Amino acid sequence: MLRIAVVGSGPSGCYTAQSLVQQDPDALVDVLDRLPCPYGLVRYGVAPDHEKIKSLQNNLRTVLEHERVRFLGGVQIGPGGVPTTRLRDLYHAVVYCVGAATDRHLGVPGEDLPGSWSATEFVSWYSAHPDSVDDGFVLGARSAVVIGIGNVAVDVTRMLARGTAELSPTDMPQAALTALGASRVTEVSMVGRRGPSQARFTTKELRELGTLPDTAVSVDPAELALDPAYADPSGLPAPQRRNIEALRAWAEAPPQDARHRIRLRFFLRPVELLAEAGRVSAVRFERTAPDGRGAVTGTGRYEDIEAQLVLRSVGYRGVPLEGLPFDTTTGTVPHSEGRVLREGRVAPGEYVAGWIKRGPTGVIGTNRPCAKETVTSLLEDAAVLVRREVAQDPLTALRAEGVEPVEWPGWCAIERAEAELGASLGRGVVKLPDWESLLGAAHHNAL
Ligand code: NAP
């Protein structure tokens, strides 16, 4: 009987656990997470107003409630916690599903000025991530620049344009709701270094910007026309063609008056963040031109866009985990069909799935086939893996070493506490935003 540890309880971890118990009728799976709460980016990354995507938590829940799956939250793997080598001793196999925990950097002067944040920091704040700090993101700002044109950029742009009435029914923490409700940001420019036909956002997310109350979306037709595919998008793949058509509709629409304005900008690459009185005041961009091969070149012409708030939304990046090999170029763990490779050779018993395996791309559903491939490899290796003696029950061994995981009843207690908090505020469920309240709820109210 295989005992397997899955590290990370986001979509890739849950789909890995699901695939394991479905494909092996005896496998026992522990899903460990650093946080006391499961679901990874579904809880701490999907925007709070995307209730339908968030409801995926219900599917992931059935995995973690499976009789041969245990959720062990609040367990740090690596430095300061359980070493990866110890985990290998306790289980026949370990599958790392740790995602891409940090963000890419722009590498331009002024990037770290007060008022400039990574989109991840902003998302973590309004998603109540317990490591997030309330840095007064929107305080004192009138104009914001979002750098990047992927779906995260669209998320943060949309959140900046939403008002209290739309945000209050979400599970957003109360402090973020109050701050965003009082926000005086009325101008948001979302800026891409390449053209509309190379944008990474998906059409559904793009179009949603046009449905926001009291918000006008503007696109400059002359800027769109810099993209040769704008005049004739017929050669583009369907997703890009649909993006172009959505942008064309805004470009051709008569100007609109609204409290919030979202400007979608293209062919501008950030070269510097400018400061006034020690805070960011504008972003300097260089106008780019398509090079005919999908990339762009600089033109030596510059434009400053005013911003007291800058959100850098240029993608996530994997973080090396002590004891595991890491490819610094791709930010992933080298692998062959999910089997970890050490110096080009398979490391028996170690596997990866999700973003740490293939990089931070794709939608939540992409993790399903990715997890399945890894589990297929693992089960092919089962006959060898099972020969190794492991702990009778890894949880007993971990407890003996002073590890006190938040188990499923602890998580359910957090859920109850969040429902109670929401009721006391006249809202639905409201997330607990810090370690103290999460662990307090988990340890004191677990049944
Ligand atoms: P992304 O899709 O990789 O987009 C990153 C953006 O940053 C691109 O526009 C990229 O431009 C730009 N960029 C990168 N380096 C830059 C630089 N140095 N200067 C200026 N721009 C730069 O990443 P993401 O938005 O973080 O999304 C990550 C994944 O999560 C994606 O697969 C996304 O679809 C998914 N996601 C999905 C949803 C949803 O389905 N609702 C919501 C959020 C996230 P280039 O193309 O020119 O490199």
Name the pLDDT band for 135 (thresholds 50, 70, 90).
Answer: confident
Between CA 131 and CA 336 the distance in angstroms is 33
**Nearest CA among 316, 437, 351, 294 for reference residue 5:** 351
Regarding the beta carbon of 270 and ligand 1, being less than 6 Å apart is answered: yes
Pocket test of ligand 1: the residue of 205, 206, 314, 367 to mutate, having most ligand atoms within 8 Å of its CB, is 314
pTM over 0.85: yes
Mean pLDDT of the chain: 96
Q: Is the CB of 147 under 6 A from ligand 1?
A: yes
Atom 26, ligand 1: residue with shortest CA distance: 315
Q: Is 41 annotated as a binding residue?
A: yes
- At 395, list the tokens: 């949880």
Task: Check pocket membership of 314 for ligand 1, CB cut-off 6 A.
Answer: yes
Q: Which of 41, 193, 267, 317 to probe ligand 1 with, by most ligand atoms within 8 A of CB?
A: 193
For range 330-349, the mean pLDDT: 96
Task: Give per-residue pLDDT as tens, 173-188.
Answer: 999 999 999 999 999 9
**Å from CA of 239 to ligand 1 middle:** 15
Whether 113 has a pLDDT exceeding 90, the answer reads yes
Q: Is the pLDDT of residue 326 over 70?
A: yes
Q: Is the pLDDT of residue 391 over 90?
A: no
301 is in an annotated binding site: no
142 known ligand binder: no
**Could you tell me the distance, in angstroms and rounded to a whole number, from the CA of residue 85 to the centre of ligand 1?**
34
Distance between Cα 15 and ligand 1 center (Å): 23
Predicted confidence at residue 445, as pLDDT, reads 67
Contact status, residue 431 vs residue 171, Cβ threshold 8 Å: yes
Q: How far is the CA of 249 from the centre of ligand 1 (A)?
A: 23
Cα 154 to ligand 1 centroid, rounded to whole Å = 9
Question: Which sign, positive or negative, has the C-alpha torsion 101, 103, 104, 108?
Answer: negative
Question: Which pLDDT does position 444 carry in this prediction?
Answer: 80
Q: How far is the CA of 313 from the centre of ligand 1 (A)?
A: 7
What separation in Å is there between the alpha carbon of 271 and the centre of ligand 1?
A: 18
| Tokens of residue 238, six digits | 């369907």
| DSSP for 113-153, written as a single string | STTEEEHHHHHHHHTT-TT-----TTTT-SEEEEE--SHHH
Task: Please give the domain boundaries of the chain with CATH numbers for all domains.
Answer: 3-101+318-405 (3.40.50.720), 104-315 (3.50.50.60)
Report yes or no: 34 and 26 within 8 Å, Cβ to Cβ: no
Atom 31 in ligand 1: which residue has the minimum CA distance? Answer: 361
- DSSP of 360-427: S-S-GGGHHHHHHHHHHHHHHTHHHHTTS---S-HHHHHHHTT---B-HHHHHHHHHHHHHHHHHTTS
- Is the torsion defined by CA of 260, 213, 159, 136 positive or negative? positive
Residue whose tokens read 């092919």: 380
Residue 446's pLDDT is 59
DSSP state for residue 197 in the 8-state scheme: G
Could you tell me the two tokens for 219? 């696109």
Strand 116-118 and strand 309-312: the pairing is: parallel
Rounded to whole angstroms, the Cα distance separating 374 from 433 reads: 34
| 349 CB within 6 A, ligand 1 | no
At residue 227, the pLDDT reads 96
pLDDT tens readout for residues 419-444: 999 999 999 999 999 999 999 999 88
Residues 6+ apart with CB under 8 A from 258: 214, 215, 216
**Is 106 one of the annotated binding-site residues?**
no
- Scanning the structure block, which residue is given the tokens 């559903």? 365
CB of residue 42 inside a 6 A radius of ligand 1: no
- The answer to whether 205 is annotated as binding is yes
Confidence of residue 447 (pLDDT cuts 50, 70, 90): low
Query: Does 150 contact ligand 1 (Cβ within 6 A)?
Result: yes
- Who's near 131: CB < 8 A, 6+ residues apart? 124
The CB of 152 under 6 Å from ligand 1? The reply is yes
Nearest atom, ligand 1, residue 107 CA: 18
**Which secondary-structure segment (H or E) carries 283?**
strand 279-290
Q: Is 364 annotated as a binding-site member? A: yes
Provide the 8-state DSSP code for 211: G
What is the per-residue pLDDT for 133? Answer: 85
Q: Which residues contact 384 (CB under 8 A, 6 or more apart)?
A: 348
> Mean pLDDT over residues 203-214, rounded?
97
pLDDT digits (tens, 9 = 90+) for 237-273: 999 999 999 999 999 999 899 999 999 999 999 999 9
Q: Is 316 in the pocket of ligand 1 (CB under 6 A)?
A: yes
Q: Is 236 annotated as a binding residue?
A: no
What is the pLDDT, as a whole number, of residue 195? 97
